[in-house]
Amino acid sequence: MESSTRYPLLTDSNVDVSGYQDDPSIRLKISNDQYEQTVQGRKGGWKSAIYIIGVEVAERFAFAETSGNLITYLTDVLGESTARAAQNVNVWSGVATLLPLLGATIADSYLGRFNTIIISSFIYIMGLVMLTLSVSTLIPLKFQYWVFFVSLYFVAIGEGGHKPCVQTFGAEQFDERILEEKKDKNSFFNWWYFGLCSGTMVGSGFYRSHVPKGSPLVRIMQVFVAAYRKRHLCVSKNGVPLYEEENRDDAGLASKGRILAPTNQLKCLDKATIKDEMDTSDTKNEWRICSVTQVEEVKLLLRLVPIWLSCLSFAIVQAQGGTFFTKQGSSMDRTVVHDFCIPSASLQVITGLTIIPTVVIYDRILVPIARNWTGIQSGITMLQRIGVGIFFAALSMGVAALVEAKRVQVAAQNGLIDQPNITVPMSVCWLLPQYVIARVANVFTIVGLQEFFYDQMPDDMKSIGAAVYLSIMGVGSFLSSLLISIVQFASIENGDEWLGNNLNRAHLYYYYWLLAGLCTLGLGVHIAVSRCYSYNKTVADSLTN
């Protein structure tokens, strides 16, 4: 790859910084010493993040209990078919994980993350209260069905504002320019996944909070417009200087923004950075000229698209945990110690305990070992971590298929094929392996996606980065619903229904094998696009290297 400094780089004061590697004054200019002396130790860090983790624990408890029991309520109380109920669950889950794109845009452009969290939390609580009222005698029976679904989507709206902001708000408590906090942030995404604390308002005085600086979508459009306006100009090795803004705030201190180094990809967009005779005035026209960093941010977004697509098969698999896994468990012997019968949805909560030892082992044992071997701060790259999780997701589907085939075999041996309402004499503990493997997959892929999109998104789009990760799960839920419809139609036409109401006669294990195959295919695609992906690189990174 050619050197990223082959074109002259100018700040908004027309200072050429193309030789920054050897210029001590430029090194000093982008150093972080003054910033660290000013803010280090005042706010942020673990003392703030611990409260934010507690908020997520409370929210996840409410959401998991709602989603975990949803398919059982739809089939057993509202009388929907298994396939129809699974589709309704997937559509609701899809909406709940796509709305964060809107919530993140509002947070990054207007309200800020903290205010968005507060407002969305009120909407969330209102939805939960309405959900409770929907099954009470206060609501006439003929309206309960509609109040129930309206309440669910109020919860989804609250989730849309809460979800993309809380984790990003927690991650920004650690400043990458402070070495110790940069290391802590690598661990934050692991500990976030199971943290056991509480309180948000109690810790509000300790939080670092960034003020939104306008719509990031406008900044994206400015790059395309500026590049189009200068489409006839050429960027040659000895050509026109490229424009870069000074990394300073009004007080003269180093700003929060990162200066990204130029890359050789999507060179047509580099035309937006060329300064010509019309760009010499003191007033900058942001629709005619953009900084190198602004252009590189747009390139970053375009490079993320193949990664996003490669993870959809994982999201489809994840949608099964709250639907068919639960229906499997409801047909099995759920009796444990002293005739105590556990609800089938509780398996999701119980196996969630898998996260605790997995995160501890990964963060405290595997990461240090891998770090010594690879030299990478996080042990393995974020994309490698995501790929490992996709592998475990495919494995969980294979195990689920084998267990379901065994369950049907036991039902046949006991003459229960046509008696779906009678419990199959097979312990629900047989489902533990598929749940546990799926949870391990989450620790790798979901945490990896969270860290990846937070790290790779532009500074002014961090909340949108969290929403983009969630949108993978949302689109995956919709695709799962679509896949159910296709499988149902094709299998019924073939006279051998895969997803019928009678799971003893259905062929759910065929569906699981199909998902295992799709996930394996997705893993292959992910490996291919990951090999072509180049991580963003700042000027500071170049100096460090």
CA-closest candidate to residue 501, choices 330, 350, 361: 330
Q: Which residues on adjacent β-strands are paired with residue 45?
A: none
b/e string for 267-293 if b means 16 or more Cβ within 10 A?
Answer: eebbbbbbbeeeeeeeeeeeebbbbbb
Tokens of 484: 């159910």
Tens-digit pLDDT profile for residues 193-242: 544 333 333 333 333 444 455 566 787 888 888 888 888 777 655 544 56
Alpha-carbon distance of 381 to 386, in angstroms, equals: 9
Q: Which residues on adjacent β-strands are paired with residue 432?
A: none
CA-closest candidate to residue 472, choices 454, 442, 446: 446
The answer to whether the beta carbons of residues 267 and 33 sit under 8 Å apart is no
CA dist 145 → 72, 79, 80, 86, 165 (Å): 15, 11, 12, 17, 31
CA dist 531 → 34, 390, 420, 522, 526 (Å): 38, 16, 48, 14, 9
The answer to whether the beta carbons of residues 372 and 362 sit under 8 Å apart is no
Tens-digit pLDDT profile for residues 477-521: 889 889 988 998 898 888 788 888 888 888 899 999 999 999 999
Burial class (CB in 10 A: 0-12, 13-18, 19+), 428: buried
pLDDT tens for the chain, 545 residues long, are 434 444 455 444 444 444 444 444 444 444 444 444 444 445 666 666 666 766 777 777 777 777 767 877 887 778 787 778 888 888 888 888 788 888 888 887 778 877 888 888 889 888 888 888 887 777 777 788 888 889 988 988 988 887 777 767 766 666 666 666 666 665 665 555 544 333 333 333 333 444 455 566 787 888 888 888 888 777 655 544 566 655 444 433 334 456 666 777 777 888 888 877 776 666 677 788 888 878 888 888 888 889 999 999 999 988 877 778 888 888 888 887 777 777 766 776 666 667 777 777 877 888 888 888 887 877 888 899 999 999 999 999 999 999 999 999 999 999 888 888 888 899 888 988 998 898 889 888 988 888 888 788 776 676 677 678 778 888 888 898 899 889 988 988 887 888 888 888 888 999 999 999 999 999 999 999 999 888 766 544 544 44
Tokens of 464: 């949108």
* CATH numbers and ranges of domains, the chain: 46-208+299-544 (1.20.1250.20)
